[in-house]
């Protein structure tokens, strides 16, 4: 982790290239395409362009593709991990992110191919290894899912 953990990296948005420098996720388990409106230690909005080419749609469901709820929550968590990475200035430091808990999770609207999924996340607690966020997934201004989640970031080597 950076020497001065309260001196965040100077990013207000992250394209796919920067996301991959912060979190270890890769296809087929990378569920965000961009993160915007990053406010270190506070919040951000992740963007997921939902396409019919994603592998989970082959089985969920073949004749009526619906993005699985767990992948929506994972996309929220990946957005939050980018906020943590920027906040703690750990770009290019090979960090891993581990879920520790998911609370108050609700699903309200299906997410389907063609949707632009916005993942609004806000830090409830954080600043060290363990962070807690609240997230809201939205499409066209409609709430699709909400959750609170706790995760830990740690160095890949221990």
Catalogue the active-site residues: 60
Q: Are 106 and 145 in contact (CB under 8 A)?
A: yes
Which token pair is 150?
Answer: 């706790």
The SS3 assignment for 129 reads: coil
CB 115 within 8 A of CB 88: no
What values do phi and psi take at 105, rounded to 5?
A: -85, 130
């Amino acid at each position: 982790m950076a020497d001065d953990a309260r001196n965040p990296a100077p990013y207000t948005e992250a394209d796919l290239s920067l996301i991959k420098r912060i979190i270890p996720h890769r296809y087929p388990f990378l569920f965000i395409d961009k993160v915007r409106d990053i406010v270190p230690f506070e919040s951000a909005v992740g963007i997921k362009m939902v396409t019919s080419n994603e592998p989970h749609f082959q089985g969920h469901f073949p004749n009526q593709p619906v993005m699985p709820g767990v992948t929506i929550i994972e996309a929220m968590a990946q957005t939050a991990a980018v906020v943590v990475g920027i906040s703690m200035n750990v770009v290019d430091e090979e960090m891993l992110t581990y879920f520790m808990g998911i609370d108050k999770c609700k699903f309200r609207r299906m997410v389907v191919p063609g949707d632009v999924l916005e993942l609004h996340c806000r830090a409830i607690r954080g600043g060290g290894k363990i962070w807690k966020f609240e997230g809201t997934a939205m499409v066209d201004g409609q709430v699709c899912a909400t959750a609170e989640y706790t995760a830990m970031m740690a160095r890949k080597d221990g």
